[in-house]
Chain A
Amino acid sequence: AQKITQTQPGMFVQEKEAVTLDCTYDTSDQSYGLFWYKQPSSGEMIFLIYQGSYDEQNATEGRYSLNFQKARKSANLVISASQLGDSAMYFCAMRGFQGGSEKLVFGKGTKLTVNP
């Protein structure tokens, strides 16, 4: 079974600064994937970035990067140059690729507020 832990219920950052959102995970699978989603107040879930357990490089997508530390089982999301539009809920999720389950397991999320 997979488990995701996001320990920061809320985070605040000044516009144009960088912010790190924490995510730790637990799984018995050797092969798995980690995903980050953004959910603005409007409610839609927006996919941001993906990291595979065997990917050698940390994933990057524009202003989003993933600080993947496999030994620590952490997959923190880094948002650089924060913008007001980044204010939203952020969810870390994972799927194991060996246990036979296809479900994506989500954490409880972190609410990010970007201040002007």
Chain B
Amino acid sequence: DIQMTQSPSSLSASVGDRVTITCQASQDIRKYLNWYQQKPRKAPKLLIYDASILETGVPSRFSGSGSGTDFTFTISSLQPEDIATYYCQQYDNLPPTFGQGTRLEIK
């Protein structure tokens, strides 16, 4: 199975800050990476697919980049409603595997 190493595991930032989360795959996954947002007691919501494509309706302050083994997720200006846990997931190979998550808090 492909291992996804996500960092940091938690992050505290202020409203308006630029926030970056990284995800590293244990082998080449080309562009096949998702980023999900999960708020407490809610289902995950897909934000970005194919590493950099914004899902319809997702605010443009969210972005993703990378290919191969190294990927980055960025919130350009943190908003209070962005408080959540974020997960990366590869879907190049079965089984699809997730990173361990990054819990984002407001400072």
A and B from one complex: no
